[in-house]
Amino acid sequence: MSSADQGIPSGVDFGPERILVVDDEPGVRRFLVRAIESGGYRVASGDDAGQALEHLSSGEFGAALVDIRMPGKDGLWLLDRVVERGLDVAVVMVTANNEVRTAVDCLTRGAVNYVIKPVNPEELVQVVARVLEDRRLRIENRAYRRDLERLVGERTLQLENAMGALKQANVALERAYRESLYRLAAAAEYRDEETGNHIRRMGMYSHLIARGMGLDDDFLTLVLLASPMHDVGKIGIRDSVLLKPAKLTPEEFDEIRAHTMIGARILAGSESPLLQMAEEIALNHHERFDGSGYPNGLRGEAIPLSGRIVALADVFDALTSRRVYRPPYSVEEAVDMIREGAGTHFDPRVARAFDGALDEILRIKGHYEDPDASSVSARNPILDHVAVDGLGFLESMAGRPPMH
């Protein structure tokens, strides 16, 4: 792949490549200038390190040959100033035989090479060519790194934008998926004469009980949002059975009990933790702690904890709500039944957490009472939007993006 294909410019400006010779001996200075010019280079000269620094700071020179020993400010002073200012100049030190050690030390201070007097003209031209080529490579590499960093920054930003868009799309997809299932749950509740407030109560009762058991925040959020889908399987039960105002026959009761397995099948196969818990609740919220429940007759802690929690919340809400076949029980009667059922119908730990949260549960019940608790009114034939609003309310409590 070419540099252009990668977004890296192929052309690099190396700047001027004039050479500055700095030596206080006129004869040596002229010799060095002529030798370098013989290689085709443009050369300027001077005998003062201070003035030389001004010339090098102007950016007109790519390299400098600097004599180490000069009166006043010497070559070492000039080298140090070039390095301090970060000037893009290749400095070659010129030294006598007895100063080689000093010249070598200069390499650690930023010089790129050194030559020894007396200087061989051909070798000098080769040194100049080499240091200018090294300078070109250094500039090219610097430009490459700079443009590579820019390219990486651009690609990173593009990737972050793409990931952000994907995340938003996933959030929107999850929200649409949840809403579809919630509407299905609302349809099931609608067929059983339930309301949006029932959905609110079920979510918050389950949340309060789980919180009283000291469960973690993830569990609290999931049970808040998943518990309203407990009866989604009722969508598959005949109205003549689901709404029958009289005692059910054994066959009809078997059909009613099948709503747990229908709901679990509807919710099965998802990788979403929310829907996995909803499947768990739909299947197990009619199991009893002593093993006498349905559909699988599970006992004790073999029943998933979410199912044990929602089982109690559902019974309390059912007892204190009007049904086509009976009026609601009083709160006192319902609480007594819950307490008496601890250890048989209900997990004793769940029952204790219910007792501990009872004041808050009763506040929720009072605040979200069904609109007409004295009678069962005819339902609008269109899906009750209040039920979906109730699910959106629970979403907002959990800090999830609201459904539209």
Mention every residue, 6+ apart, whose C-beta is less than 8 A from residue 130: 113
216 close to 224: Cβ distance less than 8 angstroms: no
Q: What are the C-alpha distances in Å from 108 to residues 20, 105, 194, 281?
A: 21, 6, 85, 73
User: 93: which strand partners?
Assistant: 66, 114
Residue written as token pair 């601890």:
342
363 C-beta neighbours (distance < 10 Å), count: 12
Distances (CA, A) of 270 to 178, 265, 307, 367: 12, 11, 18, 34
Comparing CA positions, the residue from 211, 212, 213 lying closest to residue 224 is 211
**Contact predicate 391/199, CB 8 Å:** yes
Q: Are 324 and 243 in contact (CB under 8 A)?
A: yes
Amino acid, single-letter form, for residue 208: L
H-helix segments, 237-357: 239-242, 250-257, 259-267, 273-284, 305-319, 331-340, 348-356
pTM of the entire predicted model: 0.56
Q: Where would I find the H helices in 192-236?
A: 196-212, 217-226
CB 361 within 8 A of CB 208: yes
Residue of 367, 404, 375, 378 lying closest to 389 (CA atoms): 404
Q: What is the CATH number of domain 168-397?
A: 1.10.3210.10
Q: Would you kindly state where each structural domain of the chain is located, as residue ranges?
A: 18-149, 168-397
Those residues whose C-beta lies under 8 Å from the C-beta of residue 374, and which sit 6 or more positions away, are 322
What is each CA distance from 76 to 66, 70, 135, 313, in whole angstroms? 9, 9, 20, 86
pLDDT tens track, the chain, 404 positions: 344 444 444 555 555 678 999 999 999 999 999 999 998 899 999 999 999 999 999 888 989 999 988 988 999 999 999 999 989 899 999 988 777 788 778 888 899 988 888 889 999 999 999 999 888 888 888 888 888 888 888 888 888 888 888 888 777 776 766 666 666 666 666 555 555 577 788 889 999 999 999 999 999 989 998 998 898 888 888 888 877 777 888 899 899 899 999 999 988 988 888 889 999 999 999 999 999 999 999 999 999 999 999 999 999 998 998 776 678 899 999 999 999 999 999 999 999 999 999 999 999 898 888 765 444 443 443 334 444 455 555 656 555 443 33
Among 119, 110, 77, 88, residue whose Cα is nearest residue 18: 88
At residue 238, what is the residue type?
Answer: R
Q: Options 3.30.413.10, 3.20.20.60, 3.40.50.2300, 2.40.160.40; which CATH number does 18-149 get?
A: 3.40.50.2300
Q: Residue 314 has which token pair?
A: 């559902």
